Structure 1
């Protein structure tokens, strides 16, 4: 007779908000060393958050201060994902509350991701640095299929923001709405968009509307994770930063503000920092425990 591994403590934090009712919730297991893939998937499924993070011992040779480097894996309710920005921010905040602010280093499936946590007035803010990003063309037929699944006419796109697939740890299809009203009206064919995303190996579709030169509103359908919409998406924010820079839509040195979650009643704010001479993208935001 075998004894089932006891379920570990699961913390609940939100990222990209300083209040529990904003941003994107994540489950966090600070010691997942005794869990296998099915255990982690079951925990993520039961929580129902867009992703949950599971910490393990760091691989040999991972850089970082002793005791502040970790392996990390991310599971949605349906599957493992290679990288998740909001769960990384939430995990770094949870660790900082226990061991103090400073730098943490996470070994993800997508590569090594350092995170710097600062604290001011009892509020923690985490800044992750992405892996090397890339931006690639998206076939016209695939864009047409995505628009059909979303129920968006092609005329509702912003012509200054051509569709592209962008990566900064995970792949996201970037589509820009011409108006805030178009972005707000999101009711899509779940199964049809999910099928396309699986075929293109997409984690989310990054829907964007530009309010001003450096301020954007974004939404992220996430059917491949079993979630209709992600409330705040750090990985997509990093990918969008790489996209905007490569297409010359923002300067090489820029700080962008992304608002996400308001349409879901969970407002959050993501800061994307671009630096000339460094292709990596920095994404930062506050985080706090839900309960």
Structure 2
């Protein structure tokens, strides 16, 4: 039995479970967090991620020398149930909030396969004894590139979308901010809501072009967007809230001039899956990097089997 499907050994660490981009455990995107993966092999990490079944699980080990102060700097790797991915925004947010629960809010820095990613965690008092914990990551330097027309046609065929359902004001592009995403814009909210794609065909297309997700977008207003993210390469039909794709989309929006150089965008994701989440994308003039933030909270552990 391969590592992807084998049962996780009982002496393996149990991942913490956090959701990102929501204040409630039932919203946003759940992620696993293993705070000490020092003794885990790659097959171990893949098996833990597959056993948990979330779109990504983050695994922490010691940071490179000089990265940051102890307890606030780590090396982080991300595994989906099927494979390692270079960067995951929601698992980064979840990890930072998990650490803040132990050492307090403030600044963290992660060495990821995509590059160095700083994260700021803040806490805001709410009503009574409640607080909201928010994490904001700063992406690696992004870039946006054209995509050949035949590739767009194949992507649309896999999605079962006619070309006439695309928004001509938001042309297809490949956007990167730690991972590669194909950005496709729907002309209507109804088109975005109706997602029933050919899983195997889209997975094959994405693997051939080294894509992590497809960022499907509908523009509600100048700075409010609704997004969905098919993720077949990770073994997941759809990601509920995708920080890496949000960062890539911020770079896309700025590159195409559809938003100002300094802007704050609101992305709604997960409502069509019953896990609504909100991602805030911040662009700053003179800084190519994109900041993506949102609330997060711990997901209670399930009861042990009797």
TM-score w.r.t. the length of structure 2 is: 0.93
Which of 118, 126, 150 lines up with 2:122 in the alignment?
118
1:211 aligns with 2:220: yes
Q: Tell me, in whole angstroms, the C-alpha distance in 2 between the residues paired with 1:67 and 1:225.
A: 30
How far the C-alpha of 1:6 sits from its partner, in A, is 2.0
How far the C-alpha of 1:123 sits from its partner, in A, is 1.5
Q: Which runs of 5+ in 1 are unaligned?
A: none
Q: Are the counterparts in 2 of residues 53 and 75 from structure 1 also a CA contact under 8 Å?
A: yes
How far the C-alpha of 1:59 sits from its partner, in A, is 1.3
Aligned to 2:16: 11
Q: Are the counterparts in 1 of residues 180 and 210 from structure 2 also a CA contact under 8 Å?
A: yes
Runs of 4 or more consecutive aligned structure 1 residues displaced over 3 Å after TM superposition: none
Q: CA RMSD in A?
A: 0.9
How far the C-alpha of 1:5 sits from its partner, in A, is 8.5
Q: Are the counterparts in 1 of residues 20 and 28 from structure 2 also a CA contact under 8 Å?
A: yes
Aligned to 2:304: none
Aligned to 2:244: 235
Aligned to 2:164: 155
**CA offsets, 1:168-193, max 9 Å, x none?**
00000000000000000000000000
Q: Tell me, in whole angstroms, the C-alpha distance in 2 between the residues paired with 1:66 and 1:192.
A: 45
Q: Tell me, in whole angstroms, the C-alpha distance in 1 between the residues paired with 2:72 and 2:66.
A: 13
Q: Are the counterparts in 2 of residues 33 and 56 from structure 1 also a CA contact under 8 Å?
A: yes
Q: Tell me, in whole angstroms, the C-alpha distance in 1 between the residues paired with 2:264 and 2:106.
A: 22
Q: Tell me, in whole angstroms, the C-alpha distance in 2 between the residues paired with 1:20 and 1:5.
A: 26
Q: Tell me, in whole angstroms, the C-alpha distance in 2 between the residues paired with 1:169 and 1:65.
A: 24
Q: Are the counterparts in 1 of residues 180 and 211 from structure 2 also a CA contact under 8 Å?
A: yes
1:53 aligns with 2:58: yes
Aligned to 1:166: 175
1:226 aligns with 2:235: yes
